[in-house]
Amino acid sequence: MKLNRLLKKLEDVIKVNIALYDEMVVALEVERESLKSHSLDGVSEAVKRKTEIAYKIKSLEIDRLNVLQLLSKETGVRQSQLSLKGLADVVSGELRLGLLTLRSRLRESVGKVTELNLFNRGLIDRLMSVNYGAASHLNHLLQPGSTYEKAGPVSSPFKPGQVLSREM
């Protein structure tokens, strides 16, 4: 009977965990759209939201570990070896089906988060590369100095966009 209560508590914790991962998916999609539209404010807001969600997930992890510790004592299985699939093998009926369903939903949510995170990271890396390339090109075009001297034009070729100055 105690095992059923602990499994129900674990189920509740994992349902909240899944909901948080689903929120993270939404935050990552918002971040991706902000990156695509080059909206720094949108990216900043998405990063704040992701940080809040990550903090909640980390806090929830403490609850999950506490439940796993109690389940470990109850089942006699080491905490490091407890998994949803392993727990589902210990129980039967509706509890088993519920644990396996939660396992599937959790894996799906974590997979979505991982996929979007990798996509956004690649997008950020590509945007950084483009921005560094553009800055380097602009730096080359806007070198200080002049294309004219007192005696007339400098023999070096004119660089478009270069600032002109003439000393007197």
> Greater confidence, 128 or 147?
128
Domain 2-143 has CATH 3.30.70.270: no
- What is the 8-class DSSP label of residue 81? G
Instruction: Give the C-alpha separation, 21 to 25, whole Å.
Output: 6
Residue 165 in this model has a pLDDT that exceeds 80: no
Residues of the chain above pLDDT 70, percent: 82
Identify the pLDDT of residue 101.
92
Listed by start position, the domains of the chain span: 2-143
Lowest mean pLDDT among 48-57, 69-78, 87-96: 87-96
Instruction: Answer whether 37's CB lies under 8 Å from 102's CB.
Output: no
CA distance 8 to 95: 8
Classify strands 148-149 and 152-153 as parallel, antiparallel or unpaired.
Answer: antiparallel
pLDDT at 96 over 80: yes
Distance CA 42, CA 29 (A): 11
State pTM to two decimals. 0.74
Question: What is the radius of gyration, based on Cα positions, of the chain?
Answer: 28
Give the tokens for residue 53: 């969600």
pLDDT-based confidence at residue 150 (cuts at 50, 70, 90): low
| Helices assigned H by DSSP within 37-93 | 40-75, 84-90
120 or 149, greater pLDDT: 120
119: left (phi over 0), alpha (psi -120 to 50) or beta: alpha
| pLDDT of 146 | 47
Cα dihedral: 52, 53, 56, 60 (round 10): -170
The pLDDT value recorded for residue 138 is 75
Arithmetic mean of pLDDT, 129-135: 86
